[in-house]
Homo-oligomer: A and B are copies of this chain.
Amino acid sequence: MHRSDSALVATTAQLHAHGYRLTGPGRTIIAALHGAGRYTTARQLYEGLRGRSVGLASVYRTLELLADLGLVRRRAEGGGETSYLPYGAGSQVQLTCTRCGQVRAINASICPTADLIAAAEAASGFAIERLVLDCSGLCAACAAGEA
């Protein structure tokens, strides 16, 4: 849990730096999102927080705010629901298991991303600000349990 804890602290620090206030419910929502460790929908967060009197609207408002600040990544699954995952601190290499939906981030330093950025900029004329590498396939556990 250390990794998500530090990401959580970084997120709240960013909010603070942008002049946003952070009350109890906001912290609860952000903590739940970071604790989930995988793409999560607003409704899933809301259900997980039942009994703590957090409104669904606040979940949406918080997620949208984080997304606008670039702290969280949005994804469209089937079924018309949007799900969210915090950007790991500095690591933009994500692996998604096509079977169980687990998302894992690995350290970007194992990949020559600087070369990638240079090559992509040369080929396109873009000024690249962020690079995200998405890999999908079967995680070790799902591959082992395959029929």
Please report A residues at the B interface, Cβ cutoff 8 Å: 64, 67-68, 74-78, 80, 82-83, 93, 95, 97-98, 104, 106-107, 110-112, 115-117, 119-120, 123-140, 143
Which residues of chain B have C-beta atoms less than 8 A from A117's C-beta? 135
- Assembly of this chain: how many copies? 2
Bound complex: CA A136 to CA B111 (Å):
18
Pair A137/B128 contact, Cβ less than 8 Å: yes
Pair A119/B110 contact, Cβ less than 8 Å: yes
**Contact A106 B135, CB 8 Å, known A98-B129, A112-B115:** no
> Of all chain B residues, which has the CB nearest A110?
B119
Bound complex: CA A121 to CA B90 (Å):
20
- Closest Cβ of chain B to A41, distance in Å, is 10
**Contact A139 B126, CB 8 Å, known A76-B75, A120-B95, A134-B132:** yes
> Of all chain B residues, which has the CB nearest A144?
B125
Bound complex: CA A132 to CA B135 (Å):
6
**Contact A126 B112, CB 8 Å, known A74-B76, A132-B134:** no
> Of all chain B residues, which has the CB nearest A117?
B135
Bound complex: CA A128 to CA B111 (Å):
15
